[in-house]
Amino acid sequence: MKYVDEFRTPELIAKAGEEIRKLAGPNRHYRIMEVCGGHTHAIYRFGLKDLMPSNVELIHGPGCPVCVLPMGRIDDGLSLAADPSFIFAAFGDMMRVPGTHGSPLEYKARGMDVRIVYSPADALKLARNNPEKHVIFFAIGFETTAPSTALTLMRAKSEGLHNFSVFCNHVTIIPAIRAILDSPDMRLDGFVGPGHVSTVIGCRPYHWIAQDAGKPVVVSGFEPLDILQSIVMLLRQLRLGEARVENQYKRVVPWEGNRAALRAMAEVFELRPYFEWRGLGFISQSALKIRASYTEWDSEQRFPVPGVRVTDPKAAQCGEVLKGVLKPAQCKLFGRECTPEQPVGALMVSSEGSCAAYYNYEHRKPVTIANAATA
Amino acid sequence: MCLAIPGKILELDSQNPMLALVEVVGVRRKVDLGLLQDEPPVPGDWVLIHVGFAMSKISAADAEDQMRTLMMLGEAEAALQEVRGYGLENEDREHLGQRQPS
């Protein structure tokens, strides 16, 4: 009953579940994608899937930064860590993600200088405090995180700090959604839009999804009731044959986004012509590159990087799971060779990865609001 | 990865107005205000923090909601560990490298 007690409003949850069942006409199957990995985590954690009628299917999207990063990028970044004059700094989420020759944490165990930082600003501080070393910050994340890296690079430049550079893996969410919509094996009816990405980019960038692709988008918060309300809003639009962008997370997401953050990104980054995503392949203009005016702080331009392409371990089916073609448990390695303790693929590492979420909350099946209510 | 942590601005840094001391459930750390420069927060305001940068201003009630969401998601401890890990203080926090990943 643990999670039940934590809900402020169990009656509202039940009501939203009922509303979803009413709105989802029995003659139609609805496939709704939650784009953000944070929503995937919440959906499993709260057992929201169990509240859905059988004809409302929730498909997990690509919004987990460590999950979509191809192994070749990890290998490229770590290839620089072998130099004893370098410090390799990354967020904790990255530390257990496997590269071909081990994760950053395993590199650290082999004696390389690998540090966990909680902010790009702390990587910059490492550079200030270790003038004899070069600090590489291995940057990952969508538009939620990219502005912080941008500001950090602006600070490095204004301070004239030359022993710091960023190995940039920042990606942008809109081209990934476009790639999914263009994928012939993917039929979707609507999107639960990412919450914190939208605090930066606002709601306008989703308009084409409604107008051109004809799919409704509802930007959503992360509480169980937020997610259920967003699904209600999507089903209402679908029932009326509408496709609009709505903002369920108004308390945090301004329609226009955060202009200062967008300015910082525009100052430091430009779009890469293409970038490889795990599972989705190469997507045009889907990632950020450091501008020529910041070349000196771009690890890739400053140091020789092998630029390797690595296919995922043969038996792992991360790509199919990422695209929503396979459910996590349908992968041959799931729960056997690949577990959160011993991950083979990145989707098992991050709490936002659908495999880790499925393993922790579905495979081990805790008591959730849904099954507690019927118990 | 996309954790957004609610914190209360206690005071602005006297030497660098782009830094502020914030409190998150009793933990006090400096965060960067550079992403809110169009609408700089003042002491007493609540903000959502992501990787050491305040990214939006929110109401006190929404801050409470956000912390409860983190607790319900089982991420409150990870959020506090992140905040404790921010190293923008003057004191040397180079032991960061010894920490276990979250």
Separation CA A123–CA A90 (nearest Å): 8
Mean pLDDT over the full length of chain B: 85
Between chains, do A151 and B32 touch, taking CB under 8 Å as contact?
Answer: yes
Average pLDDT over residues B78-83: 90
> How many angstroms separate the CA of residue B73 from the nearest CA in chain A?
6
Q: CB atoms < 10 A from the CB of A131, how many?
A: 10
Residue B35 lies in a domain: yes
Higher pLDDT, A218 or A46: A218
B56 vs A96, A199, A351: nearest CB: A199
Residues of B within 8 A of A119 (CB-CB) are: 32, 51-53, 85-88
B51 vs A118, A129, A197: nearest CB: A118
Number of domains in chain B: 1
Residue A299 makes CB contacts below 8 A (sequence gap 6+) with A77, A80, A136, A165, A166, A167, A168, A305
With an 8 Å Cβ cutoff, is A175 touching chain B?
Answer: no
Separation CA A141–CA A173 (nearest Å): 10
ipTM higher than the 0.95 cut: no
- Reply yes or no on whether the pLDDT at A24 is more than 90: yes
- The pLDDT value recorded for residue A309 is 86
What share of residues in chain A are helix, strand, coil (percent, to 5)? 45, 15, 40
DSSP output for A212-275: TS---EEE--SSHHHHHHHHHHHHHHHHHT---EEES-TTT--TT--HHHHHHHHHHEEE-SEE
Between chains, do A64 and B1 touch, taking CB under 8 Å as contact?
Answer: yes
Lowest mean per-residue pLDDT among A106-110, A218-222, A306-310: A306-310
Interface of B with A in 16-75 (CB under 8 A): 32, 34-38, 48, 50-53, 55-56, 58-59, 62, 65-66, 68-69, 71-75
Separation CA B36–CA A145 (nearest Å): 14
Residue B42 lies in a domain: yes
Residues of B within 8 A of A111 (CB-CB) are: none
Separation CA B41–CA B18 (nearest Å): 10
Residue B35 belongs to what domain range?
Answer: 5-89
> How many angstroms separate the CA of residue B102 from the nearest CA in chain A?
6
Phi then psi for A115, rounded to 5 degrees? -125, 145
What percentage of residues in chain A have a pLDDT greater than 70?
A: 95
Q: How far is CA A344 from CA A79, A105, A241, A356, B87, in A?
A: 20, 14, 43, 11, 32
What share of residues in chain B are helix, strand, coil (percent, to 5)? 30, 30, 40
Separation CA A226–CA A223 (nearest Å): 5
Separation CA B13–CA B20 (nearest Å): 5
Cβ contacts below 8 Å, chain A against chain B, sum to 156
Q: pLDDT of A7-16, one tens digit each? A: 567 888 999 9
Separation CA A168–CA A335 (nearest Å): 32
With an 8 Å Cβ cutoff, is A351 touching chain B?
Answer: yes
- Reply yes or no on whether the pLDDT at B63 is more than 60: yes
With an 8 Å Cβ cutoff, is B13 touching chain A?
Answer: no
Residue A275 makes CB contacts below 8 A (sequence gap 6+) with A171, A282, A283, A286, A287
- The pLDDT value recorded for residue A80 is 93
Residues of B within 8 A of A93 (CB-CB) are: 1, 101-102
The domain that holds B9 is classified in CATH as 2.30.30.140
Q: CB atoms < 10 A from the CB of A241, how many?
A: 7
Q: Which residue of B has its CA nearest to A225?
A: B69
Residue B97 lies in a domain: no
Q: How confident is the model at residue B1 (pLDDT cuts 50, 70, 90)?
A: low
- The pLDDT value recorded for residue A365 is 59
- Reply yes or no on whether the pLDDT at A375 is more than 90: no
Q: How confident is the model at residue A48 (pLDDT cuts 50, 70, 90)?
A: very high
Residue B102 lies in a domain: no
DSSP state of B87: -
Q: Which of B11, B3, B7 is nearest to B57 (CA)?
A: B7
Residue B66 lies in a domain: yes
Separation CA A141–CA A170 (nearest Å): 5
Residues of A within 8 A of B46 (CB-CB) are: none
- Reply yes or no on whether the pLDDT at A319 is more than 90: no
User: What tokens appear for A41 in the block?
Assistant: 């985590």
Interface of A with B in 209-248 (CB under 8 A): 221-224
Separation CA B60–CA A121 (nearest Å): 26
Residue B100 lies in a domain: no
Residues of B within 8 A of A8 (CB-CB) are: 68
Residue B22 lies in a domain: yes
Separation CA A239–CA A132 (nearest Å): 63
> How many angstroms separate the CA of residue B12 from the nearest CA in chain A?
17
Residue B94 lies in a domain: no
Residues of B within 8 A of A38 (CB-CB) are: 1-3
- Reply yes or no on whether the pLDDT at B2 is more than 90: no
What percentage of residues in chain A have a pLDDT greater than 90?
A: 74
Mean pLDDT over the full length of chain A: 91
Q: Which residue of B has its CA nearest to A155?
A: B34
Q: How confident is the model at residue A318 (pLDDT cuts 50, 70, 90)?
A: confident
Q: Which residue of A has its CA nearest to B58?
A: A252
Interface of A with B in 292-331 (CB under 8 A): none
DSSP state of A361: I
